Structure 1
Amino acid sequence: MSGHELKRVGLKVTLPRLKILQILESAGDQHHLTAEDVYKILIEQGEEVGLATVYRVLTQFEQAGIVRRLNFENNISVFELDTGDNHDHLVCLKSGFVKEFVDPVIEDRIRDIAKENGYNLSNHNLVIYGTLESEMSKDGRGRK
């Protein structure tokens, strides 16, 4: 997303907004970031942006439809770019690691359940909580 696209969604182009957007776009597989994660990256890059600014920008991005705010069981908000796709999440209760997945069978079943109950489905959010086997083996509670 560019400065032009920020303007298109009604946001003024500022350096903090561009930097935060760049971080979100370049996060790769680890793209579920907390505001604190974004703040730490900015500090590592030598940027002088306060944590309050990061929270404000992420909230503005959420309101503009640029990012999604996800609240998992640990009561920590994470942000991901809103790419318009529909996916669900697996969350490790020990490490907090978040993994996305798409399962056509689950998607079909959710649509069926909504229809069977007289709902026009507009959105859904499925989160599966557990512990990664690799996390369990670190403390001896699990086996590989």
Structure 2
Amino acid sequence: MSKLSPGEVERLKNSLKEKGYKLTPQRRAIVDIIIRNEGSHLTTEELYDLVKKDCPEIGLATVYRTIQLLEDLGVICKLDLDDGCGRYELVHQEENHQHHHLICKNCGKVLEVQADLLEGLENEIESKYDFKITNHSLKFYGICSECKNIKNK
């Protein structure tokens, strides 16, 4: 399980404070659920169902508002995995760009590609088009190893 380092928690508190907000127990519970489920690409409703177990008094509207706030602060980012749902994942300070995703067309599993393999392409695009790239998102669609193995049996 990935945890926010004390420095990242402090950064989150400061970011909230600068915008006039506090790291309330409900907001902290939502961040904790996102951290505990890192790599799961949860929807707001899935986050709500998980947070409600630890924080039964929390409302869905609070989760929606907190998700929007965390996205505005750059703590999480919204993913569009072409399934009609907004999904969220943590943004790590050391990442220059969003990481890439492999999406199985059979079972819907989403795998993360940790390496950013596009630096050379980005440099070429920036040079050729005089365009400063600040982020990119890349999705590969195919069949995961588990589904391939089932088909081959």
Do the two structures share a fold, i.e. TM-score over 0.5? yes
For residues 52-71 of structure 1, the aligned pairs below 5 Å read: 52-71=61-80
- 1:58 CA drift (Å): 0.5
Identity over aligned pairs, percent: 29
Structure 1: 5+ residue stretches without partners: none
1:49 matched to 2:53? The reply is no
- 1:108 CA drift (Å): 1.8
Q: Which residue identity is paired with 1:9?
A: S
4+ residue runs of structure 1 moved beyond 4 angstroms? 1-4
Distance 2:64 2:57 in 1: 14
Structure 2: 5+ residue stretches without partners: none
- 1:36 CA drift (Å): 1.5
Aligned to 2:139: 127
2:104 equivalent among 89, 92, 98: 92
Q: Secondary structure at the match of 1:9?
A: helix
Aligned to 2:152: 143
1:107 matched to 2:114? The reply is no
Distance 1:105 1:4 in 2: 31
Q: Give the TM-score of the pair, scaled to structure 2.
A: 0.76
Q: Give the TM-score of the pair, scaled to structure 1.
A: 0.80
- Aligned Cα root-mean-square deviation (Å): 2.4
Counting matched residue pairs gives 140
